[in-house]
Structures are given as structure tokens and as C-alpha cells.
Amino acid sequence: MINVSNLSKSFSLTRQQKKELGTTENTVLAVDDISFSCAPGRVHALLGPNGAGKTTTLRMLSTIFKPTKGSIIIDGIDAVANAQEARKHMGFLTGSAGLYARLTPNELVDYFAKLYGVSNEDRDKRKQRLFDLLDMHDFKNKRIGKLSTGMKQKVSICRTMIHDPQVVIFDEPTSGLDVITAENIIQLIRDCKNEGKTVIFSSHIMGEVDLLCDDITIIHKGKVLFNDTMEAFRSQMEAPNLTAEFIRIVNQQKAVV
């Protein structure tokens, strides 16, 4: 379970950043008082155009960033007050997280399993399952620095899932990947849902959102524009498809502003 209440995040601006943004303000508000909940056994989409505050929100959920204001409860744990404990219950997949280039996938996954205190028996069972699902056996002993983008993404997934987290955050997990690798990740997300995990999913690909998600939150300029089930989203649509409806909601907010 994820519960987000009145969450805000502001950043201090350098002189150069103020010049680039055309502002005299000393801070910028990236996330502005947002609230939503993600339930176990459901996939929750967090959507928004570039610069909406999605990644900042996900990084606060993962405890990389500390909120300026508000609360985050991860699997019953206060993630702001007890970030280290909350991390034990979650996996965070993002394309911006680096990998150790000199290690092999086998070595890297074993290293993270040890960090999380996973027993060797559980590690080997989970690693076998993940390597089978993601078709990783052919490159599991190659140096990560020599792997393709898709292969590295598969390694990141294994690192994210090796401790069997109850809460999983996927930040654009299929971005830039080939169709087969993307489908493997889609299947993994389905498996997480079927196992009763709480899944939050961010993507620019509305077909994936339509395929996977039970609930949806749309944010723009740090504010929530829509927060409800996918069923409710479809029932109130004024545009002919999900992509067009998403654009309509965002543009409607731009018109108000």
C-alpha cells in the first residue's frame, strides 16, 4: 500500500537556473500538495507531460528525495521518518539509476541480494525465475559495461525485484526498449499484480497504461488533475481515445492557468 498525503517538493535555484527559467524567485515548486493512494493487487498509473513533477514524486516515494511537506506511507511505514526501513519494502526501477559496469549481472544481483539480507536459497530461486522470464542466461556472466541498453534494463529489473518487495515503482520501464524486452517487463508487472503487490507505473505509452492499469493519477505543473479508477476515467472521456483524453485534460488545465 502507498498513501501520499499533501505532498510538496521545492528546489532552490542557482543564478544560472533562474536565468534559464526567466524568474527572479529563489525556489521552484516541482510538486504542489498532491494526494493519492495505491492499493495492493492493483497497478496505479502516474501520468503527466514532461516537467509535470512525476519523476520528482517517484523519487520522493523511493526516498531519494525528502519532501518539503507532506507524508508518504509505504507498506505501513512512514517513508519520510523511516526511509531506510521503507526501502526494505520497495523496489524502484528507473532508467537513470546506474549499474556497476565491471560486474556481471550475476555478481550485481548477488551483491544487492546480500545488501537486502536475502538468503542464498531465496536469492537463487528468485534469480532463476527472473533470468528465465527476462531471457538473461546468455549474458548473465558478461560484464555489464559491454551489454546493450535492453540487457542493462533487464539487469536493473532483477536488482529491483531480488528482495521480493511488496511495493514496486516502475518509472518508464519500457522506454527505448525493443518489443520483446518491453513485453517481458509488461508480464513482470502483471505477475506483481497477481501476487498482490502494490505497483505504481509511470509511462508515456498510453497503450501500456490501458493494458495494465487499474487506477490513474494525472499531474501537471505539480498539481493533480485527475485521480480515480481507470473505469471512471473511461466513463468520463470526452475524447475518442485515452491519449486524446489525456491531452484534453492537460490542455484544459493550461487554458485555466
Per-residue pLDDT tens over the stretch 22-61: 888 888 899 999 999 999 999 999 999 988 899 899 999 9
Task: Please provide the CATH number assigned to the domain covering 2-89+168-178+199-256.
Answer: 3.40.50.300
The closest of 94, 105, 170, 107 to 131, measured between CA atoms, is 105
Contact 72, 60 (CB under 8 A): yes
Q: Which three cell numbers stand for residue 256?
A: 485555466
Geometric angle at alpha carbon 32, from 28 and 34, rounded to 5°: 155
By the 8 A CB rule, do 1 and 69 touch?
A: no
Q: What is the C-alpha to C-alpha distance for residues 69 and 46, in angstroms, rounded to an integer? A: 20
What average pLDDT does the segment 64-84 reach?
95
236 vs 233: CA distance, rounded Å? 6
Domain ranges of the chain: 2-89+168-178+199-256, 96-164
CB 198 within 8 A of CB 167: yes
Asked whether the beta carbons of 12 and 27 are under 8 A apart, the reply is: yes
Question: What's the predicted TM-score (pTM) here?
Answer: 0.88
Q: Quote the pLDDT of residue 122.
A: 96
pLDDT over 70 (residue 227):
yes
